Structures are given as structure tokens and as C-alpha cells.
Amino acid sequence: MTEADFTIYEPDNSLKKGYASLFGEIFSEINKNRWLIYQLFKKDFVALYKQSFIGFLWAIVLPLVSVGTFIVLKGAGVFNVGSISVPYPVYAILGMAIWGLFATGIVATSNALVNAGPMITKINFSKKSLVIASMGQGLLAFVVQLGLVFVLLLYYHTVPSVDILLIPLLIVPVLVFTLGLGFLMSLLNGVVRDIANMLAVVVTFLMFLTPILYAKPSTGALATLSGYNIMYYLVAVPRDMILYGTSDYLNGFFLSSVVAFIFFILFLAVFHLTETRVAERI
């Protein structure tokens, strides 16, 4: 028998082991817990929709209401959505669907640890799996909303570009960004509960600040701001690719994707280093 057979717990564990082993550990943990992630996702899904008549169709209610409001405002001449070359409902619902990946995902992930509090303090299991599994709700809602987009495309006789087949690839950056941020937020929310409340407000505010339900204005403060808004590129460019097959902001998209990946790697490492310390404050 050697030291290697033992699991060792001591303060500043990772400092002693060094950062090199970090990502190997993370990878093997996630790989080992694939089934757990699926089970946790299933639990979230069932808990949300089981005692409900229309079940996951609720996922299309929110975008329909938001977009409906904008259509009414637009019709009344109160609000100008800018020039859009496809039917507005298609444009807006598709935007909302991609945005929803971020909005639903960040709220769900930030609550992932706190909601499982009693379990975390009694059973030692993979906490990363909890955060990853909580992304599932947003993904499922996206699939349902995509169904709505297809219905609208048929209704308006609009033909999307062939890039629509690349959807799984196009949404990777926004998923990575959300999950990365989610790792950090779930930790912070474990220590300070204000985080989840704050995020719910910020996400709503950001939705109106980001050109999703309207076209990006060409001049003014909002145009400048959108130029630095990572979420604008991560949502608008996939939408442009799906609808038109091209986008004016491909460079912004690639840059944003790189930033998203860096955030992801960084926050995943932070999570790995501090998850146990946070567990005792939940």
C-alpha cells in the first residue's frame, strides 16, 4: 500500500499539488460523473414540469409575451425596431431563444449550489455536476423555442440559410460563456445570497440594453455600447448566420468567443480550487 491509495484532505490542498494537475483532475471528475449529471438534469426537468398541464411548452410563453409586447409597441409607433429584412417575429423569437440560453442558464447555475444546500453538506459528490446539469433547463427551452421558430419560418414562407444546420456549433460560445460565468456566480451566491437576486435584475436590464428585440442602431450611445457588449456578438451573429448566412460582425464574434473560453477556463479553475471552502458556508 502506498500514499497513492489514499485520498488526502488538508488545507491549501491544491497549492501543495500545484496548478499543473488542476485540469486533469477537473476533466476526470466530469468524465466520471456523466451519469450523475444526466440524473441531476432529469431531476430538474421533472421537478419543473411534472405537476403541470402544458409542461415544457411554458418555455415558449415568455418569448411570445415579450415579442408580442414589442409588436404592439411597434404597431402603435411607440418604438422603432430599426430595419430588419426578415419578418419581425422570426427575428425576435430566434434572438430571444439564443438570449434565453444565457438568461435562463445564468439564473439556474447561480442557484445550483444553494438549492442543493442540504445535500451538499451531507453527501460528498461532484458539485461541478450540479452546475453543469442546471444548464440543461435553458438548453431544453432553447430546443422548444427553436420549434416555434421553424413554425414561424413556415408561416412566413421565409427560407433560412443553410447555416441553420450549424446551430449546435453556433451556440457553443454562448453556452461556454454562460457556464463559465455560472461557475463563478454559483460560488459567490453560496457565500453571499445577494448574487442571485442581483443577477435576475441585471439579466432583464441587459436584455433591453442588448440589441436582440431590435436592430442595432448605427449611431448613438447604444451603438457604441453594443460594440463592447460580448452578449450582442454571441447572440446576434449566430442569428445573422441562421437567417442570412453571413454577418457584419464575424470578427467581434470570434473575439467574443475567445474571451468566453478564457472566462470559462478561468472560472472553472476558481471553482475547482474553492468549492469545498464554499460548501461549508452554504
Distances (CA, A) of 189 to 34, 102, 186, 192: 25, 17, 5, 5
Q: In the range 162-191, which residues lie near other proteins by CB under 8 A?
A: 187-188, 190-191
Number of residues that bind other proteins (CB under 8 A): 46
Residue among 96, 88, 94 at smallest CA distance from 72 = 88
Min dist CB 21 to other proteins, Å, is 14
274 binds other proteins (CB under 8 A): yes
- CA terminus-to-terminus distance, the chain: 36
CA 70 to chain centre: 23
Q: In the range 108-167, which residues lie near other proteins by CB under 8 A?
A: 118-125
192 binds other proteins (CB under 8 A): yes
Q: Considering only 11-19, 71-79, 152-160, 199-207, which stretch makes contact with other proteins by CB under 8 A?
A: 11-19
53 binds other proteins (CB under 8 A): no
| For other proteins, the closer CB: 224 or 276 | 276
| For other proteins, the closer CB: 19 or 150 | 19
Q: How far apart are CA 151 and CA 16, in angstroms?
A: 56
Q: How far apart are CA 20 and CA 148, in angstroms?
A: 46
31 binds other proteins (CB under 8 A): no
Distances (CA, A) of 188 to 98, 106, 203, 242: 25, 13, 17, 36
Binding residues vs other proteins (CB under 8 A): 1, 5-15, 19, 35-36, 39-40, 42-43, 46-47, 50-51, 118-125, 187-188, 190-192, 269-270, 273-274, 276-281
